[in-house]
Amino acid sequence: MFIVDNIGLAIVFCVITMLGWGSWANTQKLAGKDHWPFPLYYWDYSFGVFVLGLLLMVTLGITGTAGMGSFVNLRQAGTESILKALMSGAVFNVSNILLVVAIDAAGMSVAFPVGVGLALIIGTVTSYLQTPKGNGLLLSAGVALVMCAMVLSAIAYSRLPRGAGRSWTRGVTYAVIAGCLMGFFYPILSKSIAPGFGDGTILPGYLTPYTALPLFGAGLLLSNVLVNTVFMRTGGHTYGEYLRGTPKLHSLGFLGGLIWMLALSLNIVASGIAGPAVSYALGQGATLVAAIWGVFIWNEFRGAPKGTGKFIVAMFFGYTSGLVLIGLATL
């Protein structure tokens, strides 16, 4: 299987993760411009996640001589590890659907900093307690700055005119619930993967990243049958409506899933040398990327009262400083 053997490449992978996780939601925003409801978009997104997981399993998962090939690993995998990988996909699925609801209600520049910022804090702390790798003091300081930036984002959002079709209660509430759930999917997934896979050591019963990823995708897709169907029915949508979608609309959702899963895959591979806590925290710098998209491309703070800009600038500063400290924690 393919592994990363130097910290420089691992950091590059984490930066790509940050860009991918912070940008995939643009495909949902584009689909929304054509009035394509998010539950319908989300089916194609889940297919994209699952398909890329399978492709990586049969390509990078059997490439090279390090570790163990995907199919050999799957045959010796323990039930507990398989269930954890499936469960992580289901947990992420529920949280991500709620995050998309938050994006729809409050915009990317708010939903991501609040929801994903909270997930960063929970996921990083949980992962570090699970595998204490990296400078704990710098990591803590970085997470604290991210928390401050999250609060500043919420303050900036509260200043928006209520007549703009935005709801403080709906947007922020969904973002907080999504963040609480999302913070736990990564530690659950990490527990299913052999802790020493970064040097090619695969303990009996554990998974390699390339067998865990398609199982994660399967958990997401299977749980989607129940969870997303409920959201569809609640919104008055049908499977017939989904099937009548144009190739463009279906491709946007599928592309969104590919982008997100590629980011997760690189992040998991990088965690073998950087450590799960640092790898995940750097990847969740996606909050900064999404905020940039929301503020400068989608103009989500257009119409905000004078003085809101200082909160937005302070938010960017908090996220940037926090990510720099988290990066330094790997040294």
User: Is residue 2 one of the residues assigned to a domain?
Assistant: no
Q: What pLDDT score does 163 carry?
A: 53
pLDDT, position 168: 60
Taking the C-alpha atoms of residue 271 and residue 263, their distance in angstroms, rounded to an integer, is 12
Q: Which residues of the chain have pLDDT under 50?
A: 164
Question: How remote is the C-alpha of 57 from its chain's centroid?
Answer: 20
| Integer Cα distance of 38 and 240 in angstroms | 15
DSSP lists the bridge partners of residue 205 as 77
Tell me the DSSP string of 49-106: HHHHHHHHHHTGGGSSSSS--HHHHHHHB-HHHHHHHHHHHHHHHHHHHHHHHHHHHH
Is the Cβ–Cβ distance between 182 and 114 less than 8 Å? no
Residue 190's pLDDT is what?
93
150 domain residue, yes or no: yes
Give the tens place of pLDDT for each residue, 154-201: 788 777 765 545 556 677 788 889 988 888 899 999 999 998 898 888
Would 1 be classed as within a structural domain?
A: no
What is the number of structural domains in the chain?
Answer: 1
Q: How far apart are CA 171 and CA 168, in angstroms?
A: 5
pLDDT score recorded for residue 109:
63
Alpha-carbon distance 184 to 179, whole Å?
A: 9
Question: What is the reported pTM?
Answer: 0.84
Nearest Cα to 91, choosing from 225, 224, 286, 257? 224
The pLDDT assigned to 289 comes to: 82
Give domain status of residue 221, yes or no. yes
pLDDT score at 40: 94
What was the pLDDT predicted at 45? 95
Does 314 fall in a domain? yes
Residue 312 falls within a domain, yes or no?
yes
- Alpha-carbon gap, residue 117 to 195, rounded angstroms: 26
Q: What pLDDT, on a 0 to 100 scale, did the predictor assign at position 305? A: 85
Structure confidence at residue 147 (pLDDT): 80
Q: Tell me which residue range forms the domain holding 306.
A: 7-328
Measured CA to CA, the distance from residue 50 to residue 260 in angstroms comes to 11
CB atoms within 10 A of CB 242: 20
For residue 193, the number of C-alpha atoms closer than 13 Å in the C-beta half-sphere is: 33
